[in-house]
């Protein structure tokens, strides 16, 4: 059985003080870690505070981005090696906002995945289509192409341990949400793509999140789908109360 994983993605929100206050608000209240894995992805400037505050809890920590080199003359970038040394558990890569605003390519995302694995950090690899792509009937071609490019050169063992987040771009921060059936259809496509690239065992082990406006009001419906193993959550992860509702969706 794949363990559900609810991961907050704070984007460019919260300072270190607010980060510590958030963790104080969820301490002792997280879901049973044997049932649901709780993760917060925070801006790089908040990561050390988050790691320190999360000590002694079951909360896991994710970076929101990383470079694909460990060190060098890359001003302003974040080293995956240093993230690992700090104690970061996961690295979010390929988010649609990184692709759109910072012009990240599929090749960049693949290189970042390799860099994270090399340093013992588990990637959360994002994929998803625009409304135009969906209307053109090219969702399958687009998403499977992103998956094939992102996983290039990774071993079956690495992919089985990874997390893939399906985020329909038209449903991010818009209040729009894919129906459970739409989300399930694409998450199933992702699993089938992994099976085609590797094998059925690898596909059955990789965890797939839904990442488009998941919130307490729709989490149960989405999580009831057979190929949805969690959520990559934006706005609903910013407040302790709503984040706790998400990780306690089974209660």
Task: Name the catalytic one among 37, 95, 129, 248.
Answer: 95
CB 92 within 8 A of CB 5: no
The enclosing H or E element of 17 equals: helix 16-26
- Geometric angle at alpha carbon 164, from 160 and 168, rounded to 5°: 160
Task: Name the catalytic one among 104, 129, 167, 248.
Answer: 167
Q: Is 234 annotated as a binding residue?
A: yes
250 is catalytic: no
Measured between alpha carbons, how far is 251 from 247 in angstroms, rounded to an integer? 9
Report which DSSP code applies to 250.
T
Helix pair 139-150, 106-118: axis angle to 10 deg: 40
Report which DSSP code applies to 3.
P
Q: Is 213 annotated as a binding residue?
A: yes
Q: Is 10 annotated as a binding residue?
A: yes
Q: Is 144 annotated as a binding residue?
A: no
167 is catalytic: yes
Direct distance between the N- and C-terminal alpha carbons of the chain, in angstroms, rounded to an integer: 18
Measured between alpha carbons, how far is 161 from 129 in angstroms, rounded to an integer? 24
Q: Is 76 annotated as a binding residue?
A: no
Measured between alpha carbons, how far is 180 from 83 in angstroms, rounded to an integer? 34
Catalytic positions are 95, 167
Q: Which residues are annotated as a binding site for substrate?
A: 9-11, 173, 213, 234-235
Q: Which residues are annotated as a binding site?
A: 9-11, 173, 213, 234-235
């Amino acid at each position: 059985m794949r363990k559900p994983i609810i991961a907050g993605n704070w984007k460019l929100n919260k300072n270190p003080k607010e980060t510590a206050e958030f963790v104080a608000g969820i301490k002792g209240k997280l879901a049973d870690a044997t049932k649901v894995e709780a993760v917060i992805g925070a801006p790089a400037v908040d990561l050390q505070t988050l790691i320190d505050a999360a000590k002694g809890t079951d909360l896991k920590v994710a970076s929101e981005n990383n470079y694909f080199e460990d060190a060098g003359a890359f001003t302003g970038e974040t080293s995956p090696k240093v993230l690992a040394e700090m104690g970061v558990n996961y690295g979010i890569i390929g988010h649609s906002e990184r692709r759109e605003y910072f012009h990240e390519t599929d090749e960049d995302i693949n290189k970042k995945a390799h860099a994270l694995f090399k340093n013992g950090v588990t990637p959360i690899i994002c994929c998803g289509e625009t409304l135009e792509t969906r209307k053109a009937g090219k969702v399958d071609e687009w998403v499977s192409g992103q998956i094939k490019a992102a996983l290039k050169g990774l071993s079956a063992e690495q992919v089985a341990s990874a997390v893939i987040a399906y985020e329909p771009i038209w449903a991010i921060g818009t209040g729009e949400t894919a129906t459970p059936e739409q989300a399930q259809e694409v998450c199933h496509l992702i699993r089938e793509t992994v099976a085609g690239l590797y094998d059925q065992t690898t596909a059955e082990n990789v965890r797939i999140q839904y990442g488009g406006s998941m919130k307490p009001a729709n989490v149960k419906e989405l999580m009831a789908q057979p190929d949805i193993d969690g959520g990559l959550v934006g706005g609903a992860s910013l407040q302790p109360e709503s984040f706790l509702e998400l990780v306690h969706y089974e209660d």
